[in-house]
Amino acid sequence: MTRLRTPLAAVALLSATLMVTGTQAASAAPEKPSLRQLAGRADLLVGTAVDMSALADDTAYRKTTAKDFSSVTAENVMKWEAVEPERGVYDWSKADDLIRFARDNGQAVRGHTLLWHSQLPQWLTSGVADGSIDSDELRGILKNHITTQVKHFKGKIYQWDVVNEVFNEDGTLRESIWLQKLGPSYIADAFRWAHAADPKAKLFVNDYNVEGINAKSTAYYELAKQLRAEGVPVQGFGIQGHLGIQYGFPGDVAANLKRFDDLGMETAFTEVDVRMILPADDTKLARQADDYRRLLDACLATAGCKSFTVWGHTDKYSWIPGVFSGEGAANLLDENYAPKPAYVAVREELASGR
């Protein structure tokens, strides 16, 4: 399913904006509208994950984060190991810094993430492994963690990734300490606890490799349908959107989003980046731009898709090279903050509206 596009209207909008700006500063190069300005006109939040060390140390990073994005997500500092490094000892300092930055810059905040199998604190994983934390206690710990964290940020987070990456590729539930010790009901419990702590936040499931219709995304669809029928407050489906140009673009993305829309759920792209085997060249960058454009196009075609977040916006701080050896260049801006074809594609796509 493809959205009806209005390229002429888009061009007119961009030119009008350029003309207005141009008359204000005849000699300076005209300022193009920012991504967040264009997204706002399309009733969309455009977001970025934020690396808090970069935000603290790099002025250029602060500028691009503020200028182009209307939503921010903590790349790491709201994860369990960061907020409760010792049992019962909370450290909200870096997460609160992000909330302050967002407030100062008129940005919304996505919460990531309450329950994951990764980046858990050592005291928790070792306690489960050596048997000193049994299943009953683990359930209490999880309830306490979700309640404490969601209450801490109550009213400041518009969407929470409540459970992150709980399915395998074949649609079976992932073996994690949560499934092993608590059984599958931990998922419904997590949503109920989060909702009780902040009834206004929209609560999401979130995963990768669920862009198109496949066994994994269908498992989320069935889970959401079942939980919603039981009155469990699951309101959103988060599609991470970690793509690589070497794998081809996933099929049926818009149809996938639409089926969640039809369930009455919100959808969001939550962690978009498109990596490639290095070195980058013009052909690869064009292909990357096209992948960004197509994901965004699917979001704009879906009424309930209200946010599109990239997982970092500059190649300078991407997680990719550290995990996928020989790959990278996955973001909208290069390492020197120069816009890549993908940035231009996102800008044009936003300008074309819904």
Binding site for ligand G3I (CB under 6 A): 75-76, 118-119, 208, 240, 271, 319
Kindly state the smallest distance separating residue 242's Cβ from ligand G3I, in Å: 6
315 neighbors 300 (Cβ within 8 angstroms) = no
Residues 262/250, Cβ–Cβ less than 8 Å: no
Catalytic residue among 75, 84, 165, 349: 165
Query: Whose Cβ is closer to ligand G3I: residue 107's or residue 240's?
Result: 240
| Closest approach of ligand G3I to the CB of residue 1, in Å | 27
Name the residue number minimizing CB distance to ligand G3I: 319
User: Residues 6 or more apart from 260 whose CB is under 8 A from it?
Assistant: 221, 224, 237, 266, 267, 304
Smallest distance, Å, CB 43 to ligand G3I? 26
Catalytic site residue from 75, 84, 211, 271: 271
Q: Is residue 84 flagged as an active site residue?
A: no
What gap in Å lies between CA 179 and CA 53, rounded to an integer? 33
User: 207 or 349, CB closer to ligand G3I?
Assistant: 207
Compute the least distance from the CB of residue 330 to ligand G3I, in Å.
Answer: 11
Alpha-carbon gap, residue 52 to 30, rounded angstroms: 31
- Shorter beta-carbon distance to ligand G3I: residue 70 or 331: 331
Least distance in angstroms from the C-beta of 208 to ligand G3I = 6
Is-catalytic flag, 348?
Answer: no
**Residues 193, 256: Cα–Cα separation, whole Å:** 28
DSSP labels, 57-88: H-HHHHHHHHHH-SEEEESSTTSHHHH-SBTT
Which of residues 38 and 83 has its CB atom nearest to ligand G3I in the complex?
Answer: 83
Residue among 17 and 53 whose Cβ is closer to ligand G3I: 53
Q: Which helix (H) or strand (E) holds 203?
A: strand 202-207
| Active site positions, annotated | 165, 271
